[in-house]
Amino acid sequence: MATATPKSEAQPVTLSNEEVLRYSRHLIMPEVGMEGQLKLKAAKVLCIGAGGLGSPLALYLAAAGVGTLGLVDFDVVDFTNLQRQILHSTSDVGRKKLDSAAETLAGINPQVAVRKFETKLTSANALELFRQFDIVADGTDNFPTRYLVNDACVLTGKPNVYGSIFRFEGQASVFAAKDGPCYRCLYPEPPPPGLVPSCAEGGVLGILPGLVGVIQATETIKLILGADREQSLIGRLLLVDAMSMKFRELKLRKNPACPVCGPNPTIHELIDYQEFCGVRAEEASSMTTQVPAIEVEELKRKLDAGEDVFVLDVREPHEYQICNLEGHLIPLGDLAKRVHELDSSREIVAHCRSGKRSAEAVEFLRAAGFRKVWNLTGGILAWADRIDPKMPKY
């Protein structure tokens, strides 16, 4: 049979002969079948982010025949993305991720309607956006957006298919499903800024977002197909360690005191998530602006003039291997126990990749009694930009 019509759709959804052929490996399995494939075609999934997690997620959802895929992203493809963001190709560098993604997805499955939302997800637009979709898949990279996505999902009653990654470790779950726990049940409060390293600091194994994004895609498809609750990740947190290739799972409970999904919620509308996560306060007190600093041009002049300047590199040894200023390497984390290697009578210029870790180092050394210590503004990246264009950037 080439076509079928589900009972409750206002506009009957059917499959063309071409679609029957395309989805034949779905149609012959009883867990999907014609009924399931029509559900996929009628489904509307919103992917937050077209990056590391969003790439495999959107690719598989499109291939599987999800009828409408919304993408929210305002970023541009750069070279550092290509190691893991497989929606984008080398030739896409410099293009908007949305354009690159839409093209890739149309190439895989032209039947899918891709809706592009070139915007930052905010408290002002999230609810209206989410209401237009059935399921939200969260592939964001920062805590304010995580909490925003969660709360908006709870308030609009849309399940939140969650994935998160760090280096070679990932987490996945389905939050905010009916009567299921939400992200706030698991993590009532965000960590203070600076205590948890980001991917740019910590790195991420390129295949890991592939693994975790595909788990998100799987859960999304199961939600659409109406899989049993016990089969879904609702109420379970899956932990993936790609290095030891171990998958563990933890039970998640609905927190009766949850401020957004509990029986007595105190959050009835979206809030200021930057403030909730302390990001504003962090920006205001950013140390990089407070410690004594030196520009790369001035350091270059001093070195060329043969002045006695001790260059202290506070990055990690593997970063030193990528590029360096032939400085003395003491990773920030080791500074306290290796401070005796430094001579406080000499002029010291500390640097890292972009200037944040070295600002911490300068603050620490000043507090430890060093008087002639400066932070290299913009770090080795600024050096590569303004002094030595041959130096690789990372």
Partner 1 sequence: MKIHIPTPLRPYAEKKDVVEVAGSTAGQGLAALTSRYPDLRRHLYTDDGKLRAFVNFYLNDEDIRYLQQENTPVKEGDNLSIVPSIAGGVTLQIAE
Member of 19, 23, 32, 52 binding partner 1 (CB under 8 A)? 52
Member of 68, 104, 109, 140 binding partner 1 (CB under 8 A)? 140
Residues 131 and 156: beta-carbon distance below 8 Å: yes
* Shortest reach from residue 66's CB to partner 1, in Å: 20
Q: Which stretch in 32-40, 104-112, 139-147, 221-229 sits in contact with partner 1 by CB under 8 A?
A: 139-147
Active-site residue, selected from the candidate residues 185, 258, 261, 352: 352
Member of 159, 163, 210, 327 binding partner 1 (CB under 8 A)? 163
Member of 3, 132, 198, 324 binding partner 1 (CB under 8 A)? 198
Member of 110, 202, 206, 265 binding partner 1 (CB under 8 A)? 202
Member of 21, 196, 322, 368 binding partner 1 (CB under 8 A)? 196
* SS3 track for the chain: CCCCCCCCCCCCCCCCHHHHHHCHHHHCCCCCHHHHHHHHHHCEEEEECCCCCHHHHHHHHHHHCCCEEEEECCCECCHHHCCCCCCCCHHHCCCEHHHHHHHHHHHHCCCCEEEEECCCCCCCCHHHHHHCCCEEEECCCCHHHHHHHHHHHHHHCCCEEEEEEEECEEEEEEECCCCCCCHHHHCCCCCCCCCCCCHHHHCECCHHHHHHHHHHHHHHHHHHHCCCHHHCCECEEEEEECCCCEEEEEECCCCCCCCCCCCCCCCCCCCCHHHHCCHHHHHHCCHHHCCCEECHHHHHHHHHCCCCEEEEECCCHHHHHHCCCCCEECCHHHHHHHHHHCCCCCEEEEECCCCHHHHHHHHHHHHCCCCCEEEECCHHHHHHHHCCCCCCCC
Kindly state whether residue 189 participates in binding partner 1, applying the rule CB under 8 A: yes
Question: What does the alpha-carbon distance between residue 276 and residue 143 come to, in Å, rounded to a whole number?
Answer: 9
The alpha carbon dihedral of 318, 319, 323, 324 has a sign of: negative
Q: Residue 161: beta bridge partners?
A: 137, 174
* x-or-dash string of contact with partner 1, 281-320, rule CB under 8 A: ----------------------------------------
* Shortest reach from residue 222's CB to partner 1, in Å: 21
Query: 153: closest CA among 251, 55, 200, 223?
Result: 223
Kindly state whether residue 204 participates in binding partner 1, applying the rule CB under 8 A: yes
Kindly state whether residue 252 participates in binding partner 1, applying the rule CB under 8 A: yes
Q: Which stretch in 4-12, 162-170, 341-349, 362-370 sits in contact with partner 1 by CB under 8 A?
A: 162-170
Kindly state whether residue 128 participates in binding partner 1, applying the rule CB under 8 A: no
* Shortest reach from residue 146's CB to partner 1, in Å: 6
277 catalytic? Reply is no
Kindly state whether residue 324 participates in binding partner 1, applying the rule CB under 8 A: no
* Shortest reach from residue 195's CB to partner 1, in Å: 7
Q: Under rule CB under 8 A, which residues in 359-388 are in contact with partner 1? A: 379
Kindly state whether residue 35 participates in binding partner 1, applying the rule CB under 8 A: no
Member of 68, 81, 104, 218 binding partner 1 (CB under 8 A)? 81
| Interface with partner 1: number of residues (CB under 8 A) | 61
199 catalytic? Reply is yes
Member of 12, 110, 188, 226 binding partner 1 (CB under 8 A)? 188
User: Could you list the residues that contact partner 1 (CB under 8 A)?
Assistant: 49-54, 73, 75, 78, 80-81, 85, 138-143, 146, 163-169, 171, 186-191, 195-202, 204, 209, 237, 239, 241, 244, 248-253, 333, 352-357, 379
Active site residues: 199, 352
